[in-house]
Structure 1
Amino acid sequence: MVSDAAWKPRLIALDIDGTMLDPATQAISAAVKAAVRRAVEAGAQVVVSTGRSTLGTLPILDGLELTSGFALCSNGAVRVDVATREPVSIETFEPGPVLNELTRRLPGAIFASEDIGAGSLVTSKFPEDELHGPQQLATLDELVDHPVPRLIANWVDHEPAELLAAMTGVQLPNCTYTVDHYEPWVTVVPEGVTKGAALEKLRAELGIASEDTFAAGDGDNDIEMLRWAAHGVAMGQAVEIVRAAADEVTGPVAEDGLAAVLDRWFR
């Protein structure tokens, strides 16, 4: 945690859903947009860091009026050049062994594999507000036909607590995964890929000191990012395991908690 009163972050990593965007309204408030804009105008490197696909992230970049820098999508598996809106780095894994394990542990689950820039291959249609972009029906064999950056399992008709219990202590082959506390979802990305790891690579490339980093998030996939940052902030509605990973807890997304924190340094 940063204690210097004169400190100001130079690299600002921001989750989307539940951090900038209020799930209840499906919108980013004017206060949060203005706070992000002030940070950019002050010279900070703002990095949108999300579990969303590239297609789900691009409208957010537009809404924030970001025109340069990078965004990290799919929990860090895909890096996007904000200026060109094109992926510049992609990490993938072979989904076959993972699907074999998940179909055994989560009977009845439906799956989606990311097709970058095109949408998702799905074994059954997901609700439109859960996946971003077109959904193309596919068999399990078609899902494992090629490496993917992200695989999602949705254990429909089960509670998040049931999913947590089913996945406790489970190691999936050659990948990293997170379990959602709000939805019965497992999100799988390549081994070693997290928001925190992707941000550390970017930080080093940009030549920004590790002590000048800030991150804000609310989900399980934000934990490594919050630990990575010199100053990590959890949103007020986050569950305890996420709050424990942060240096500070701000107000919930519905009360513009992110804007309140950024306004300390960027007024």
Structure 2
Amino acid sequence: MIRLVALDIDGTVVHGRRPPTRRVLDAIALAGSRAEVMLCTGRTVVGVAPALDAIGLSRGVTLTSNGAVEMDTGTRRVLSVARFERAVVADALERMTALFPGAVFACEHVGVGQRISAPFPDGILAGTVSEVGPAGLLDEPTPKLIMYWPGHSPAETAARAADLHVEGTEPTLDHELPWVTMVPAGVSKASGLARVADRLGIDRSEVLAVGDGDNDRAMLRWAGRGIAMGQAPPQVHADADETTATVADDGLAHALERAFG
């Protein structure tokens, strides 16, 4: 029996900037009538708000920033934050600057937005964006560090990232943008989901998780039933128990209808 459903947002609930389809919303509501439903996303506290509003989730918790931040879904109050030590961020910035020439960086300012080293493309970051320069990124503790490599492809970024090793970090890649995300070592959607399930008295065998990205892989492996979206990269499919249709074809709805129909 499935008692907890964990959903990625981008590439799972929504397709690009489009809102969830009616079929997806109905399928999430069906799942919510039988189990606890929560979002587990790489988005920030600020960035997740539109998705919560669109879906209508108003109870339980939401995991943001790849599991580094836990938020009360109803009140939108931040419950816990796992932050980097300053020295780890400094090391990561130094190594990524050398490995990705011309890259720009952002550190999450929880509940506010992002503090950036230099301009990012318009609309790519949620909340208030403050340009503080590379040195300014070290002024405040952060749960998440982002690297964006302008003018390069996700494949180029992934190839370079194979040589990226920063102690104290948990890096993940984006398969649609030249983007590397880092959160503190040991932090992931899986670790956050395990914490929530334990608090609710739910065994991992009773958890269903759906996602499409590198940051979903640990969650799909941990959940008793991990489902990869159809458009996910091969390595994500390899970590899942099953595959559904693509996000463009309402794959999440197909998966939840099969599970709860």
Shorter chain as denominator, the TM-score bin is over 0.9
Residue type at the aligned position of 2:26: A
State the alpha-carbon separation in 2 of the partners of residues 248 and 129 from structure 1. Answer: 33
Tell me how far 1:266 sits from its aligned partner.
Answer: 2.8
2:13 is the counterpart of 1:20: yes
Contact 1:180 1:219 in 2 (8 A): yes
Aligned counterparts of 1:233 and 1:207: Cα–Cα separation in 2: 22
Of the structure 1 ranges 231-240 and 170-179, higher mean CA displacement relative to structure 2 is found in: 170-179
Q: Deviations over 1:127-154 (max 9, x none)?
A: 2332111211111111011221001000
2:76 is aligned to 85
2:260 corresponding residue in structure 1 = 266
1:232 aligns with 2:226: yes
- What are the superposed Cα offsets for residues 196-233 of structure 1, whole Å, 9 maximum, x if unpaired? 11111111111001210100000010000100110100
Give the paired residue count.
258
After alignment, is 132-141 or 215-224 more displaced?
Answer: 132-141
1:253 pairs with 2:247: yes
| Residue 139 (1) aligns with residue 138 (2) | no
Whole-angstrom distance in 2 between the partners of 1:88 and 1:214:
23
Runs of 5+ in structure 1 lacking a partner? Answer: 1-7
Q: RMSD across aligned C-alpha pairs, in angstroms?
A: 1.1
Q: Which residue of 2 aligns with 1:3?
A: none
Contact kept? 1:234, 1:250, Cα under 8 Å: yes
User: Of residues 32, 46, 49 in structure 2, which corresponds to 1:55?
Assistant: 46
- Spell out the pairing of 1:1-267 with structure 2 (5 A cutoff): 8-23=1-16, 25-42=17-34, 44-93=35-84, 94=86, 95-267=89-261
Question: 2:13, 2:123 → 1: CA distance?
Answer: 17
In structure 2, stretches of 5+ residues that fail to align are none
Q: Is the 8 A contact 1:223 1:242 kept in 2?
A: yes
Give how far 1:181 is off. Answer: 2.1
| Paired AA for residue 253 in structure 1 | V
AA partner of residue 73 (structure 1)? T
Identity score, percent: 42
- Which amino acid is 2:15 matched to? D
- Looking at structure 1, the residues matched to 217 and 29 of structure 2 have their Cα atoms a distance apart, in angstroms, of 25
Deviations 1:55-103 (CA, angstroms, capped at 9, x unpaired)? 0101111111111001000000000001211110100003111111111
Distance in 2 (CA, whole Å) between partners of 1:33 and 1:39 is 10
Higher mean displacement: 119-128 or 78-87:
119-128
Check the 8 A contact 1:156/1:184 in 2, yes or no.
yes
Return the alpha-carbon distance in structure 1 between the equivalents of residues 137 and 70 of structure 2: 22
Inter-partner Cα distance in structure 2 for 1:248 and 1:53: 28
